[in-house]
Chain A
Amino acid sequence: MHSNGLFLQDVSGFLGVYYTSIALMNGVAAVLLWRNSQQKGGFLWSVIWAITACVMLVLASFALSGVAEMVPALPAVVRDIVNKLSGPVIYTVGTMVMLTVLFVFREFFVKPMVAWTGLNISLIVMGLSMADENFASIVMKADNVPIVGLVFMLAFFTWLATSQAVVNDRRIAQGLPPTEKLHDEKVLVWPDLVYTELICMIAVSAFLLLWAIYLRAPLEEPASSVKTPNPSKAPWYFLGLQEMLVYFDPWYAGVVLPSLVIFGLMAIPYLDFNKKGNGYYSISERKFSYIVFQFGFLELWITLIILGTFLRGPNWNFFGPFEYWSPYKVAVLNNVDLPQMFWVGLLDQPLPKSPAGSSGLMQAGYILLRESPGLILLGSYLVLLPPLLAVTVFRSFYSKMGLIRYLVMSNLMLLMLSLPLKMILRWTVNLKYLVSIPEFGLNF
């Protein structure tokens, strides 16, 4: 099902305003750059943004024409290709690659003109996508709008933090103090801080009022405990956890992992023994903790929320961004447990099973035997790997942290990595559970 004319007429007003705002934004940028065009490249960029503004005005007028064929949209072919290509694997690997590239080449990407180009591109792609009915119906769902906001805010603040870190890292390399140090003279809180706070409060209030006036809070049919909606989704901030249910059982994805997230966050100040980088933006002085945190926050929390909100439809199936959420889509699931792979697949013999009428202890022994491949793997992962790392890559960590702190850190990291590892095992060898003891309700 692709965009029909009626829908396009509905969104044309919104898109008109949207493109006009982008035009305004670029217009302001052009004027500001024009003013200090003596700066290197200022003139050229000023012209580029002026042209962008004009193009956006043209797009706005096309959209405002209200004629369905005129509303700027991605060609159907492109949308089909995107839908066909997208899937959990591409999505996860893609976001990972993108974040890595942004990180490695951060000196390039934080340049204001590069970042501004990136903002323009994402806004335009967003606008073109909004002309797709399937895309718009999910993105514009009232409770999903904040997540779109979250994505843009995170991008902005990551840029803001990284560009300060890049400057500081350069200064530190030259033996200079971070820029924050240059402004450590004291000022009076009244008026300097009090007025900033007042302005912030007014701005936030204005923003909230506009948001509340233009977007109605959702209210669906009255609750009914017999009519289960499909998909049934938790509130958006928990959708990362719901997405983890694809790979783990609820006891781990829904109880143990969230508890570990909370515990792990609380433990950060006590595990990070690096005294540098306290009170200013820096990456090079604390690369390890930076990468671990960003991997956990941006990749394992935020991108999973986006995936769970925008790309998971009925029956928690994956849908491309422009795909119709059909409840009839079937996904083939042929996942296999490790014991099955090991005993039946590899050794070509039936799963170990206790003889009928054997004692409880005997049964337990057989279960342990059946699950031994997974238990040994898991055991070595959590018990053998930490000491092994301690004498190799984490040698200096271990000597600085001491036994207990080191063990807490290494196990927290290994448990955090259990999620991406399980994802990879699922995608590559269709692994369902490493250990599966249904007798005990314990699947991992």
Chain B
Amino acid sequence: MASIGETIRTSQIWKSIFRHPMPLDRRNRIVVMLTNFFLHLHPVSIKKQGIALSFTWCMGGVTFFLFLVETVTGVLLMFYYRPTLEWAYNDILALRDVTSLGILRELHRWAAHAMVITTWLHMYRVFLTGSYKPPREFNWVIGVILLLLTLLLSFTGYLLPWDQLAIWAITVGSNMARATPILGYEGPGQQLLTIGGIDMITDASDARFGLLGARFVGEETLNRFYVLHCIAIPLAAALLLAIHFWRVRKDGGISGPL
């Protein structure tokens, strides 16, 4: 057996994929961190305190893992789901009753809830260890935007099953936009935007309309939320995550007492 493993690990194919030998000794454990694409996110060595579970709770890592789970299960769900009034609900129904591997939707939904929770817990830990203090101020700001994106991802996804739960939760949530000061048609000061006696802010031009693409939660909204949920917000989040991780390194690694 050992020799088969040995043969594989010394073959040309293996060596062309992995740019480093097995990380069995100290030298190669360092080399692996520097030459592997995925691992080079990490430093080579790290303070023991910075990887203690009791310190970081691994919450940022778990949140990122959940983001990856959402990406994979989300792509699989997109194979089955069509964002139209005719099909949306039926496709979800079929996912439950017909499709094999029938827990795809469950995985996606529960991981989404979990991601909201772990993001909060991660923020909680960063606050409680005072890790937002210099030089990490800006990474905290990026974190807050990531938190907002996480909530928006969850919110836009909530509509897609197109059942009662979905449209009414989104209706209640987006009704707020109607009351946006100045820009919502029921908001305070919307009278201010009147040009030549013509009211610029109506229920067909206000902030809520911009969000929903219609006067109420309808097919336009479904399309809009689908695009936001599957493309726009994930891309924005991926970019910010990259910056977030890069900054963790550049700001001197996981925080610790000086």
Task: Spell out A's residues near B (CB within 8 Å).
Answer: 143, 146, 149-150, 153-154, 157, 160-161, 164-165, 177-178, 180-194, 196-197, 200-201, 204-205, 208-209, 211-213, 215-225, 227-229, 232-235, 237-238, 241-242, 249-251, 253-256, 262, 265-266, 268-270, 272, 274-282, 286, 290, 293, 297, 437, 440-443
Contact = CB atoms under 8 A, between A and B. Distances in A.
Contact of B48 (A149, A183, A190, A201): A183
A221 B164 contact: yes
Interface residues on B, range: 35 or more
Chain A interface main SS type: helix
A233 B44 contact: no
Contact of A186 (B48, B151, B187): B48
B244 to A, nearest CB: 14
Contacts of A262: 144, 148
A442 B179 CA distance: 10
Interface stretch (B3-11, B125-133, B225-233, B235-243): B125-133
B152 to A, nearest CB: 11
- Candidate in B39, B132, B186 with the most chain A CB atoms within 10 angstroms: B132
Contact of B168 (A229, A255, A266, A443): A229
B179 to A, nearest CB: 4
Given A193-B46, A200-B61, A235 B144 contact: no
Contacts of B48: 183-187, 192
Given A278-B130, A443-B188, 18 more contacts: A146-B117, A186-B47, A189-B46, A192-B46, A193-B46, A196-B51, A200-B61, A216-B96, A217-B109, A218-B163, A221-B163, A232-B169, A235-B169, A278-B131, A279-B133, A281-B129, A286-B130, A440-B189
Interface string B184-208: 1011111100000000000000000
B93 A164 contact: no
Contacts of B121: 153-154, 157
Nearest to A186: B45
Interface string B14-46: 000000000100100110110000010011111
Contacts of A286: 130
Nearest to A181: B257
Contacts, number: 270
Interface string B38-65: 0100111111110111110110011001
Contacts of B32: 190
A410 B219 CA distance: 45
A277 B29 contact: no
B172 interface: yes
B96 A200 contact: no
21 contacts: A143-B165, A149-B117, A154-B121, A161-B129, A183-B47, A183-B48, A185-B47, A187-B51, A188-B44, A190-B33, A218-B165, A219-B93, A250-B178, A251-B180, A255-B177, A269-B132, A269-B138, A269-B141, A278-B258, A293-B127, A441-B190
Contact of A250 (B93, B151, B176, B191): B176
A362 B142 CA distance: 49
B185 to A, nearest CB: 9
Contacts of B23: 190-191
Given A222-B163, A223-B162, A237-B116, A277 B130 contact: yes
B176 A254 contact: yes
Contacts of A217: 96, 105-106, 109-110
Nearest to B159: A223
A222 B186 contact: no
A272 B178 CA distance: 35
Contacts of B55: 180
B180 A255 contact: yes
A282 B47 contact: no
A183, A249, A278, A290 interface centre (most CB from chain B within 10 Å)? A278
Nearest to B28: A190
B166 interface: yes
A153 B62 CA distance: 14
B142 to A, nearest CB: 9
A218 B109 CA distance: 9
B110 A212 contact: yes
Given A275-B133, A441-B186, A251 B58 contact: no
Contacts of A237: 116, 151, 154
Interface string B136-175: 1110110010011001001100100111111111011101
A220 B165 contact: yes
Closest 9 CB pairs of A and B: A254-B176, A269-B137, A250-B179, A212-B106, A279-B255, A442-B188, A146-B113, A183-B49, A251-B179
Nearest to A227: B164
A152 to B, nearest CB: 11
A189 B44 contact: yes
B39 to A, nearest CB: 7
Given A183-B47, A279-B258, A234 B29 contact: no
A186 B48 CA distance: 6
A219 B45 contact: no
Contact of A208 (B46, B114, B161): B114
B129 A280 contact: yes
Contacts of A205: 69
A284 B24 CA distance: 45
Contacts of A293: 127
B179 A196 contact: no
Contacts of A183: 47-49, 52
Contact of A278 (B52, B62, B255): B255
A269 B140 contact: yes
